Every structure is written in structure tokens, then in C-alpha cells.
Structure 1
Amino acid sequence: MNVFLLCVVCATVLAVTSCGGLADEFPSARSVSGTFKGSWMETRRGRRFQAYRGIKYAWPPVGELRFQPPRLIDSYKGVVYAGEEGPSCPVPAPPPGYYVDEDCLTLNVYTPTNNGSKLLPVIFYIHAGGFYSMSGRSDYAGPHYLLDRDVVLVTINYRLGSLGFLSLGNKLAPGNNGFKDQVAALKWVRRNIAAFGGDPNLVTIAGCSAGGVSVMLHMISPMTKGLFHRAISMSGSPTAKEHSPSHRLDLAHKQARVSDCPADNLTALYHCLKNKPWREIHGSILGFFEFGYDPLTLWRQVVEPDFGQERFLDIEPIKAIREGRMHEVPFIVSQTQDEFFWKANSILYNQTLLDTMNAEWDRVAPISFALPRDETHERLAKLRRAYFGDKDLVNDTSTSDALGKLYSDTITAFPVHRMANLMCKFSKQPVYYYEFAYIGNNSHRVDRVTNKPTHAAHHDDLLYLFTLNYSYPTIDVADTEDSRMVDKMTAMWYNFARYGNPNSCEDTPELSPLHWPTMKCRRESDSKQKQYLRVDEEFSVKQNLKEDRFKVWEELYPIVY
């Protein structure tokens, strides 16, 4: 074989050979757990960075480990090839050819350098998706914006749906395994991240929607103390209208029905589901909806009974915050201006659903609006009057606006409001609150006629923090409002990850002359000074976000702040 041909052959296998030194072109990192070989990627501004993708942080949760807490991987044999995406955890109706597998407890690490003179702040991102969809893969959480900053970004997968959150209220399945997966990933970061250039003592946990709920729960969980140092909850909160249950037998029984498993014997149900194909379990999600595609929220945290296991959550979140039983760190809380406004269309454009909601309000409202299933007629009528007056719901602009606000407030906006006010009152660390109101060239929900954005929808602030190439183009570096928004949002996260303060610094002039104050409500005189940042083309500081709209909720579901 001549020399030229030999080099060609070597080049084709350079991931596993050192021929000609070409293997050294792949970045590598060596931690106490093992050696990892990654790949190179490039930010939107042309910065080259290292990517280590598809790293397994826990043993595959399959076979006897299905429905069990995760088992952290402490060490790896041989070199771990981390140059490609790992699978998504099982999600409903993935696109043809999309990589999905039950063996999915993986994470991605992105770093500008792993041999710098100073370790960099770490951002640990927990993905959205209602605890039954989406993933931490780079098509849902791409690093190409944040890695223009000097941060190390970690994105993770965790088990979803019944595979992650089956809760029978017994020793077989106490619940919360999806959250325990997140804890295992945080422990992996604590153990290994310095090898990738990240500071294990400067970790910011961040999440959107279900990820935002997760972040607040980690601030309460006894399992996560010392694993993070700042927190960001976007459009998600566990401080809802009802206390956290001790089990989710309601969802377990739904799973039993759609999976043809016995529901009257929990042990038989557990073993039946343990032997079902994962595609059958997670592919049955449509069987969980009761009214159209409601309830939108299905799985959530449980306060685990003590069966001798390590419990992720042993106290109701509101009680934990009020009693100061939490890991107090600087905290950013947010919601978008319009959140779930688009849910109104799913009712108003379906005459059967619209007629049923009008005629059977007392039955349908608890399903659609995440209310107690035993809610009284009088209280449901009060809620209806607050949003619609004495009018029937009809397919017009006024009803669409009111119904969109009702969906937004009950699913996200009011729980976030409640969490922000509780943390403002009881946390000794700074709490920053923002409303994302910017409407750019893209949105997660566009007008069905013009195909243009009209509202700041749920998830829309993610468009300026991560590349979401499963559906949206990368925002280029041209001098546009969208591009400037990327610079502002990533600057806020960068400063917060470094200093616990998202305000402008010398090296982030794009935020100047912003001064974003913390919320203040620890004294009675602060009650009218709950300031927040309104994020739009121009940033501005406002007071008392949607407080008037939330009065009916505070009356129906009162707590003492």
C-alpha cells in the first residue's frame, strides 16, 4: 500500500487510531471517572468549542432497573467516545428515524476550553416538555449562543412519563425517579466537570417549564444540597393550587388501562408494566387526555412516603419555603407575557369541545385548568365570572383573549407568581423576576392565517438562549432585534452564572444601562414594590406583575405569604 493510500485509510478511522497524529484533532478530557473523546463545534459568532455528547451518567434504566432510582456511573472502562448525540428518552410520536431509546440517561457537555488558567462557571440545563416530551439533545438545547460566553454548558436527559414518574405510593414505586435522574446528573457534574474546564463550586441550575419546576424542587430536595449555587426557573413552578400528592395512582390506573395491565392489584400492575416494551408504555400518552388534549399537565412531584429509600422530596414545597427548609441561592424567576394563550384555539375551533365546555363547566374546568377534581360549583362559577363575566364562551376575539389568559394563568402564570412571592418573602438570597414580552421573527405559536408571531408564548425566551434546530433557524449575527436579544439574554445568564447578579458588567455592555432590582417583599412596606424586569425590545422595570389578574386565584386558593 503506498503512503498516500495509507494516510487516506488512517483518516477514515482517526476516531480510533493515532495514525499520523490525526486522532489528536479530536478534543479529549480526562476526569477521575475516565477519559472522554469529543468533537468540535462552532458558535454563531464563529467561536470553536469542544462538545462531548451522549455521555452516560447512570446505568441503563432497563430490565430490573426499570422504575428503580438511577445508579450513577463512577468510572468508565476505556476511552468514552462522546462525539455524537445520544438518544432521547422515550417521547410521544417521535419523527421517523429520530434516535429514541429507554437507555437514555445521558448528558452533553460543551466547553470553550478544558485547559484554561481558571475554571469557568457551569450552567446545568433541565429541559422542558411537561415531564413527558422533549429532550436535552442539541436539537432541543443547542449550545451555539451560550458558548459565545465563557461558560461550560451541560444539558441532560431524564426519564419521562410513566417510565420516570410512576408513583404507586408503595415501596415498589415511591415515585420521583425522573427527578432522581437529574440529581444523579448533578452528582456526575460535581465529580467530573473540572476536567472539562468547569468550576464544580459555581454551578447554575436552569430549566424551563417542567425544567423550571424541577429547579425549584432541587432547592428543596435533601438530595441536592451543595450541588448547585444559583438557580433559574423559567415558566414553571411546583407551588400550585393543590398540595403535592403522596402518590399518582390516578395516572398509574390510566397507564394500566391503556397498557392492558391489572389496576386492582398494585404489585401485579408494577410487574406487568415492568415487562411491557417501552414503546408501548410511552406511546400510549394519548390515552391520558380526558377532554381534547387536556389536562395538559400530567406528571408532577410527589411527597414520597418513607419506605427506607432516599427520598427526593419529603415536604410540601410551599411549607418548605415558608419554613426556610431549602438551599437558598440567588434565584431568577420568569414567565412569558402570554404563555398558553394558544390553548384557547383548541377549544374555540372545535364546536364539540366548545359546546361541552359551556354545558359541562363544572366537569370540564377541573380537567382543563388543573383544579381540584372535587371543586365546588360555587367556586368554579366564581372563576368563570372573573374571566368571562356572565357570557357563554363563543368563538370571538373577546372569548379567545379571556380563555387564553385563563389557560396561561392556571397552568403557569399564577404558580410562578406564587413561587416568586414566596421566595421573595422567605429567601435570604436575591430573587430576580422577569416577564418575557418580546415578539421576534419566530415563536412557538404563530397566527394560523399569517404564520407570523403575535404573542410571547410559552418557551419563547428559549429561542434566544439555545439553538432549537428541531424547528427554528439559527439567529445569525446581523444587527437585528433578534440578534440583539440573543446577546442580551446570554449576557444576563452569563453574569448571573458568574456573580449571582444578572445586571450589566464592563464586558457585557449590551445590557447597559439596565439596572434590574431584586424583588422586595420581606417587610410590610415592600408590599407594593415587587419589581420585575419586562424584557422587550427595550428593557424596563415595572411593578406587581399581573397582580390584579391573580386576585381571584388568591381568594379561591389562599395561603399566607
Structure 2
Amino acid sequence: MVQVTVSEGVLDGEVIRNELAEFISFKGIPYAAPPAPQPAASWNGVRSAKDFGHACYQHDLMMAHQSPYGEEDCLYLNVYTPDIKPATLIPVMFYIHGGAFICGSGNDDFYGPEFLVKKGIILVTINYRVGALGYLSLGTEDIPGNAGMKDQVAALKWVKKNIKNFGGDPDNITIFGESAGAASVSYHLVSPMSKGLFKRAIAMSGCLTNTWAQSFEARERALKLAKQLGFNSEDDKELYQFLKNLPKEKLVNLKLPVTKSVSPNDLEFGIVSEKKFGANERFFYGNECDVLRNGIHEGVEVMTGYTKDEGLMAFASGLTLEQLLSEANAFKEFFAPTPIQRDCNIKVQLEVGRKLQKYYVDKNLATAEDFVRLLQYFNLNMFVHGIVLFGKFLSKKTKVYFYKVTCQSERNIISKLFNLDRLLEGRQVVCHADDLMYLFPVKMAQLKVEKGSEAEKLIIQITTLWTNFAKF
């Protein structure tokens, strides 16, 4: 029996011993309650913390053949600690999962603690609302947007308040995340709601200057969606009630209509600039670049980077090489980066597109032989440009550390999970999210760690780099 007292009551955890590590686990801890979110309810007696809480209701991108799963009651976190009574308080790493803001959870089917806890840190993983439940925005007081981000803030506040009881140092919390989780991390760096809740941050393959993280014309798209579902009023209160009363099964399958400002690389949902309503706190407001120019929370150090072949994810939705070549050759503005396509007239798009086409293809028509160069363009447009821009803004205000993941072993499996090997013809790649395989055991992938293998060496190297950043 391993018990810890937190602000809501007593938790009963368990000691876990397996071939990878030994640690103390507390799962399914309620950190808040919707809506808003509100503080979690207290309980009497001892609450078991041996099972995970519900994931948010969702349709998982990586398991598209499965039916939707999860619950609206999903605001739970997990704490994994090497020691609840250490001589010196332990650094904390707070992980925010990715999943395009529409899926994912902090559970150990993907984000197991063994590799990191073994390095002498406490790992916290969280669930937060995703999809329409977490990111739908009408730009109104009832549905301002960013609900999932406010869940993350509530989880950070809970950890700041309670982590000492698990042996953790509340003054040494590093937030880290990948993809949509990395974009979340970067928004926390500038959000007034997140100030003072963490000391360091790691943004892996994503940030607020990647346009896919930003939600454009969110209200217009939500109104079009409601119309498709049979709602025809312009009244905000009626629209709110209509959406509120939709069954969750219908909500999880919503596809927001495309508007002229939406790029094919944009996500279904993202972060919005919130309007001010009375005393309501806003998670984020303003223009991302302008906000970054004004600086991030004082004293926070940042590490950011990307994998070698991030752009492969452009093909994850089923895009074929033939379709890509057809579009690249038919539309000269194809090579204009997303911000140019969104913000500039067609003349500027064509001018920039021609220059980048010449750089990446250097001939009139792209062919299959140009695949690697086209992949480099997708790397730039979807990830690298935004991440480098993010780093440049930050470097004027704080210490910034850059990395690029190029490691390869049998753990590089993301291209296989998304059936991207059809494009590779035997090429070795480091896909978006392949780096996670070296930070987490990823139980669902059933990957063994052979003693002395290249994979084990890479796990040791990467977990050492990440945890050293959190510690020192």
C-alpha cells in the first residue's frame, strides 16, 4: 500500500516493477471538472489510483478502423515517481500528448513512464478535452474556444499545488509535448493563464508559428457546420444550445467545413485568439508573431526541434505521389508556403511559388524522381520554417536549445503505422513522432528493448538529453 494525500483527499497507488524500471504509480487522478474547468471534487476515505481515468471521447487517428471511445468525464492525470519521500525533491516532467487536437490521452498504451522515470525524474501525463469538446469556437462567451488548453492549465495548477506530496519539486517543472502537444507547450509560454506554472519547456515537432496549430475562421466554419446539421438561426444562444444538445457520437465525427483561409495542411481544430467577455480569463489573444515579439514568461528556458522527415505526414491522410505531382505541376502557387497562400494575393503566391519550385525541382515539371526534394519542401512548409522562426523570436529573450532527430532503428515505426512505406521504396526515414519511441516504451507497438542494441543506445542517449535539460 502506497498512499499520498492531495488537496482533494487520499490516493492509494502501487509499486510497479518490470523488466524496464521500478517506480510508484498513481493513475486516474481527477484534476478538474468540466465546464470551464472547475476544481475537482473532494472525496472521503481513500481513492484507488491504480486504474487510468477515461480518455476524452474521440476517434483515434492511429486506429481509424476502431469505433469512437472515451467519455466527456476525462479530466484525469497520472503521476509516476521513483520515490515519494526523497532526500531532495525530484524534478518534474509534465507531458502534453499530441494527436492533432482531436485524439490521444496520457495513458500508457503510448506514453509509458519507464524510460524517463529511470532517469530520476517524476513524469506526469494528462488527459484533456479534444476535438469539438475541447476546441470548437464560436467566438462567444459560451464557446470562446481553447477549452482543451484551459484543461491543461488546470492540470498544471494541480501539479504545482500537489506534486510535492509525490516527492516532486514544484519549482522545477518542465512541460514538454510533441506535435499538437508541442504547439500547446509553445502557447503556454505566452499565455497569461500559464505564467509561473513551469520552469522549462520542450516543444517537439510543433509550435504556435506553425500555421496548422492556429484556428482560422473558426466561427465561420462552425456556423457552416451547424447549417449542414439543420440549424438555420443566426442567434448565438440558440446555436450554443443546438451544439450543446448534439449527441457526443455526432460531435466526434464532425468535419468542419473548409473556408478560403484554410490550407489542406491545417488541422480540424486549433488554438483561437479569444475575445474578451467580462471577467472571463483568456488563454490566448492576439497575433502569434506579435505576442512572441513581446517575449515569453520571464526566466523560462526552451528546447525545440524536429525530426528529419516530418513532411511525410502530409501523406498520412492518403495523398498519393501521383496526386502530389499532379497538384505541383498544375498549380504554380503550390510551392507558396501556407502563410503566403493565406495572406497574399495570387500574384505574390505565383511569384513565390515559382522561385521555390525552381529551388526544389529546378525544371518545369516535377517527377517521381523529385520525391525527396518535395519531401524537403513539406518539411519546411509544415514544420521547419515555423519552428526556426519560433526559436529566433525566443532567442532574443531567453536561452534556446535546438535539436534535429536523425536516429534510426527498429523503433522508427510511424511510417509503417500510417502506411507511408508505400512511398519510400526502401528509404530509411525519421518520421514525425518517431522520436517518441525513444522517450516512451509505447506498449501498443509491442517493441522489445534488446540489451546492447542500437535502439537501447539511442533510448539512453535521448532520455539523458531530455532529462538533463529538465534537471539542470
Q: TM-score, normalised by structure 1?
A: 0.74
Q: Is 1:438 aligned to 2:413, yes or no?
A: no
Query: Shift of the alpha carbon at 1:81?
Result: 1.5
Match of 2:42 in 1: 75
Deviations 1:138-158 (A, max 9, x none): 112111211211111000111
- List aligned pairs for 1:199-278, cutoff 5 A: 199-240=169-210, 248-257=218-227, 259-262=229-232, 264-278=234-248
- 1:163 corresponds to which letter in structure 2? L
SS, match of residue 102 in structure 2: coil
The CA distance in 2 between the partners of 1:496 and 1:355, in whole Å, is: 45
Counterpart selection for 1:52 from 26, 34, 37: 26
Render the CA deviation track for 1:238-277: whole Å, top value 9, x for unaligned.
1246996786114313542554444744332221110011
Change (3 A) 1:358 1:262: farther
Q: Which sections of structure 1, spanning at least 5 residues, go unmatched?
A: 1-23, 500-561
What is residue 158 of structure 2 aligned with on the other side?
Answer: 188
Query: In structure 2, what is the equivalent of residue 330 of structure 1?
Result: 301
Change (3 A) 1:258 1:205: farther
Aligned-pair identity (%): 33
Task: Count residues in correspondence.
Answer: 456
SS in 1 for 2:203: strand
Conserved in 2, the CA contact under 8 Å of 1:42 and 1:144? no
Aligned to 1:384: 353
Per-residue deviation, residues 83-124 of structure 1 (Å, max 9, x unmatched): 112222122255648851111111111111112222211100
Structure 1 residue 490 and structure 2 residue 451: aligned?
A: no
CA distance in structure 1 between the partners assigned to 2:285 and 2:314 by the alignment: 34
**Cα pair 1:34 1:75 within 8 Å, conserved:** yes
- Give the distance between the partners of 1:249 and 1:97, measured in 2 at CA: 28
Secondary structure in 1 aligned to 2:382? helix
- Deviation, 1:133, is 1.8
Alpha-carbon distance in 1 for matches of 2:293, 2:268: 26
1:503-559 CA distances to partner (integer Å, 9 max, x unpaired)?
A: xxxxxxxxxxxxxxxxxxxxxxxxxxxxxxxxxxxxxxxxxxxxxxxxxxxxxxxxx
Equivalent of 2:113 in 143, 151, 158: 143
Separation (CA, whole Å) in 2 of partners of 1:122 and 1:486: 19
Higher relative contact order (CA 8 A, sep 6+): 2
CA-to-partner distance for each residue in 1:424-469, whole Å, 9 max, x for gaps? 1x22x32110011112212311423889672111111111001222
For 1:292-303, what aligned pairs fall within 5 Å after superposition?
294-303=264-273
Q: Is 2:314 the counterpart of 1:343?
A: yes
- For 1:289 and 1:110, locate their aligned partners in 2 and report how far apart those are by CA, in whole Å: 43
User: What does residue 141 of structure 2 align with?
Assistant: 171
Q: Which amino acid aligns with 1:377?
A: I
**What residue in structure 1 maps to residue 10 of structure 2?**
35
SS across alignment from 2:422: coil
Greater Rg by CA? 1
Cα deviations by residue, 1:46-72 (Å, 9 ceiling, x for unpaired): x3211111212111x3xxx3xxx2112
Question: Relative to structure 1, is the Cα distance of residues 449 and 347 closer, same or farther in structure 2, using a 3 angstrom cutoff?
Answer: closer
Q: Residue 473 in 1 paired to residue 440 in 2?
A: no
The one-letter code matched in structure 2 to 1:486 is I
**Maintained 8 Å contact 2:190/2:295:** no
Asked if 2 retains the 8 angstrom alpha-carbon contact of 1:344 and 1:407, the reply is no
Distance 1:246 1:377, change over 3 A: closer
Within 5 Å, give how 1:329-408 maps onto structure 2.
329-344=300-315, 346-349=318-321, 351=323, 355=326, 358-359=329-330, 369=338, 372-373=341-342, 375-385=344-354, 386=356, 387-394=360-367, 396-398=368-370, 400-408=371-379
- Which amino acid in 2 is paired with 1:336? T
Aligned residue for 2:349, secondary structure, equals: helix
Deviations 1:197-246 (A, max 9, x none): 11111100001111111111111111112110111011111124699678
Aligned partner of residue 154 in structure 1, secondary structure: strand
3-state secondary structure, aligned to 1:300: coil
Higher helix share: 2
Gaps spanning 5+ residues in structure 2: where? none
Alignment check: 8 A CA contact 2:335 2:353 kept: no
Q: 1:298 to 1:393 in 2, by over 3 A?
A: farther
Partner amino acid, structure 2, of 1:376: N
Give the secondary-structure state (helix, strand or coil) at the position aligned to 2:468.
Answer: helix
SS in 2 for 1:38: strand
Contact 2:6 / 2:165 at 8 angstroms: preserved in 1?
A: yes
The secondary structure found in structure 2 opposite 1:40 is: strand
Let me know the Cα RMSD of the aligned residues: 2.9
- Distance in structure 1 (CA, Å) of the matches to 2:381 and 2:194: 29
Taking the aligned partners of 1:460 and 1:157, their CA distance within structure 2 comes to 21
Cα distance change on mapping 1:268 and 1:365 into 2, 3 Å: farther
Q: Could you tell me the TM-score, scaled by structure 2's length?
A: 0.87
Over 3 Å counting, the alpha-carbon distance change for 1:76 and 1:100 in structure 2 is same
